[in-house]
Amino acid sequence: MIEKNLTRAQFGDDFQWGVSTAAFQVEGSCDADGKGPSIWDTFTAKKGKIHASDDARRACDFYADFKRDIDLVKALNIPNFRFSISWSRLMPSGVLPVNSSGIDFYNKVINYCLELGIEPWITLYHWDLPQALEERGGWTNRGVVDWFADYTRLCARSFGDRVKHWMVMNEPVVFTGAGYFLGVHAPGRRGLKNFLPAVHHVALSMAEGGRVLRSLLPDAQIGTTFSCSPIEPFSQGRRDVAAARRADALMNRLFIEPLLGMGYPEADLPVLKKLRRYFVEGDEGLLAFDFDFIGLQNYTREVVAHSWLTPYLGAKIVSARKRKVALTAMDWEVYPPSIYESIKKFDRYPQIRKIYITENGAAFPDERVENENGETRVNDEARCSYLQRYLEQVLKARKEGMKVEGYFVWTLTDNFEWAEGFRPRFGLVFVDFASQQRIIKSSGHWFARFLGTKT
């Protein structure tokens, strides 16, 4: 049952509300109008990499019909729309020359948002590195810092006259860990020899991207986003507690602490000392940048136990399914306090001035039903409850004086969920991927009512 007590007004007039998407997951038109391939285009074409052999060649057809979905943002009373830029749509080879059709597309998206009174928030990098750069080493090649700076410069000069909120990276620990250590995401590389240089070059690029934006757009709000999950030991035994500390260093602290001028968390995860082999003189200073805000992306918590069998980390996640707790379709635990604990953790860093929740949401098995009038509806009471309960925890943090100033739902429409393909549905809006029909779910209707109530 949906609670009626939570209101928008409780969060204050200056609290920012939005919805988040990502280019590769929604745009489709993977080779239209001069776009070059990204690492995800290449990865999805490989056998056995994606659930049910799904691909994103069409995805949600956002490139072909972006107004349809931005109209939905407006219909849902959502004032801020976060989307990412496809690097290879602007620069097909990752470097010059520029593809003017790509620039034109994002200009149209930005201008239509503004026409409808929706504020565009841009993410520069949401995992889709140009394949041409991957063939030159990708994130393992230190040259990527300059390539990324040039791409950032192009975006700032092309869109900065209208876009006031920028995010440099999306969840760096996820795309480096899954893509360059475990090999389960693009580009499918494995091992420490790929992971460590990728980590360092991503960290340098994140700070350098911030500096480029600041130099060209001094009045813009500039941030970057991190995935975060509270890490709890499976027991209070010494080994489990130590394992949880190492996992926390990897999953929550690896990128934020060098950005804040604290260096990598080597003391709690000694394998990170190996990052030093990729340093050149002056890197300690180049890793740091004073962002205006930090985006936090939280879905659940993790429970961790000691494991002799896990190299470098000595820890393993105890599956939520084995713990017999409430689960989403991703087998993630439904644990609303996780978002409060994540805010509290990052709020403790005095260098962070402002926090936005830039992603939160859940995938559940949605059902289409017809009412007596023949209208198709999608009832997703589980998602309604999830959003409500997590928002209550955000409000708790705000009332306690933590510097959380906004909340963005993941995501607007069901989309291509990376290696999981189209199976998990996170959207406020249901998508029939065969027909591209949209149906606003119960959760979307609830969120629209919630945002429409200001008093």
Mean pLDDT of the chain: 97
Tell me the pLDDT band of 160, cut-offs 50, 70 and 90. Answer: very high
DSSP codes, 44-55: HTSTTSSGGG--
Closest Cα partner for 392 from 363, 357, 444, 427? Answer: 357
CB 287 within 8 A of CB 259: yes
pLDDT digits (tens, 9 = 90+) for 146-157: 999 999 999 999
Closest Cα partner for 360 from 294, 402, 407? Answer: 407
Kindly list the catalytic residues: 171, 359
Tell me the pLDDT band of 402, cut-offs 50, 70 and 90. Answer: very high
- Express as a percent the part of the chain with pLDDT over 90: 96
**Residues near 282 by beta carbon (within 8 Å), at least 6 away in sequence:** none
pLDDT digits (tens, 9 = 90+) for 122-151: 999 999 999 999 999 999 999 999 999 999
Number of Cβ within a 10 Å radius of residue 400: 12
Position 2 pLDDT exceeds 80: no
Tell me the pLDDT band of 260, cut-offs 50, 70 and 90. Answer: very high
Return the pLDDT at 4: 58
Q: Name all domains of the chain by residue range, CATH numbers in brackets.
A: 8-452 (3.20.20.80)
Question: Which stretch of 208-222, 380-394, 440-454 has the lowest confidence by average pLDDT?
Answer: 440-454
Return the pLDDT at 454: 61
Rg of the chain, C-alpha, whole Å: 21
Contacts 24+ apart (CB under 8 A), 275-284: 275/196, 275/199, 275/200, 277/196, 278/142, 278/196, 278/197, 278/200, 278/201, 279/200, 280/142, 283/200, 283/204
Return the pLDDT at 343: 99
Closest Cα partner for 185 from 145, 128, 144, 250? Answer: 128
CB 284 within 8 A of CB 341: no
Return the pLDDT at 453: 75
Averaged pLDDT, 287-293: 98
414 half-sphere exposure, CB direction, 13 A CA radius: 26
Residues linked to residue 431 through DSSP beta bridges, in sequence order: 438
Tell me the pLDDT band of 367, cut-offs 50, 70 and 90. Answer: confident
Return the pLDDT at 347: 98
pLDDT digits (tens, 9 = 90+) for 63-82: 999 999 999 999 999 999 99
Q: What is the pTM of this model?
A: 0.97
Closest Cα partner for 178 from 170, 167, 168, 186? Answer: 186
Is the omega angle on the peptide bond into residue 187 within 30 degrees of 0, that is, cis? Answer: yes
CB 342 within 8 A of CB 301: no
Averaged pLDDT, 329-344: 98
pLDDT digits (tens, 9 = 90+) for 93-111: 999 999 999 999 999 999 9
Number of Cβ within a 10 Å radius of residue 351: 14
Position 374 pLDDT exceeds 90: no
CB 80 within 8 A of CB 408: yes
pLDDT digits (tens, 9 = 90+) for 10-24: 999 999 999 999 999
Position 1 pLDDT exceeds 50: no
**Cα 289 from chain centre:** 20
